[in-house]
Amino acid sequence: MARSWTRLHEFLGHPPGPVTYEMVAESVQRKLGESDDLDWKEALPATSPVKGEWNEFAKDVAAMANTRGGLLVYGVSDDIAMVGIDLDEVNDKQLGQWLRVHLQPTVSGVSYLKLPATDGTGKDILVVDVPASEMAPHFLYGWQQKDKDKTTFNAPFRHRDDTDYMAEHQIALAFRERFARQAAAEAALNQHVQHVTDLVLGESEAPAAWLVVAARPTRPIPRMVPPLSRSEAQHVMYQSGQRAEALLADAVPMPRLRVPQLFHDLLDNNPRRGLRRWVDTNMLVPSRATRRRGVLVELHHDGTVVTAVDLSHNALPAPQSEVVLPVATPVLTSAVFETVALVHELRLALRMDAPIELRAVLGTQRTGLFRFTPVVLGHSRPEVAEWARQPSAVQPAHSDLAPFADDQALTAGATELAEGLLHQFGLEIMPT
Q: Tens digits of per-residue pLDDT, 251-272?
A: 876 555 556 688 988 898 899 9
Which of 25-29, 283-287, 382-386 tops mean pLDDT? 25-29
Distance CA 271, CA 347 (A): 17
Res. 183: pLDDT tops 90:
no
Average pLDDT over residues 204-227: 84
Q: How much is the pLDDT for 71? A: 95
Q: What pTM does this model have?
A: 0.69
Q: How much is the pLDDT for 214? A: 97
Q: How much is the pLDDT for 51? A: 60
Q: Tens digits of per-residue pLDDT, 87-125?
A: 999 998 999 999 988 899 989 889 999 999 999 899 999
Average pLDDT over residues 198-214: 91
Q: How much is the pLDDT for 326? A: 93
Distance CA 270, CA 258 (A): 25
Distance CA 73, CA 52 (A): 26
Q: Tens digits of per-residue pLDDT, 4-57?
A: 778 999 899 988 788 999 999 999 999 999 999 999 999 998 876 666 567 889
All structural domains of the chain, each given as residue ranges with its CATH number in brackets, are 7-166 (3.30.950), 179-425 (no CATH)
Q: How much is the pLDDT for 320? A: 62
Q: What is the DSSP string of 108-144?
A: P--EEEEE--SSSS--BEEEEEEPPPTTPPPEEEEEE
b/e burial code for range 211-239 (CB count within 10 A of at least 16 → b): bbbbbbbbbbbeeebebbeeebbbebbeb
Distance CA 67, CA 245 (A): 41
Res. 225: pLDDT tops 80:
no
Yes or no: say if 123 and 75 are a contact pair by the CB < 8 Å rule.
yes
Helix ranges (DSSP H) in 296-384 = 329-350
Average pLDDT over residues 277-291: 87
Q: What percent of the chain has pLDDT over 90?
A: 54
Instruction: Calculate the average pLDDT of the chain.
Output: 87
Distance CA 430, CA 211 (A): 20
Residue 70 backbone class (left: φ over 0; alpha: ψ -120 to 50; beta: rest): left
Phi then psi for residue 227, to 5 deg, are: -70, 170
3-state helix, strand, coil in the chain (%, to 5): 35, 25, 40
Which of 69-83, 99-113, 138-152, 172-186 tops mean pLDDT? 69-83
Res. 181: pLDDT tops 50:
yes
Res. 210: pLDDT tops 60:
yes
Res. 432: pLDDT tops 50:
no
Yes or no: say if 282 and 292 are a contact pair by the CB < 8 Å rule.
yes
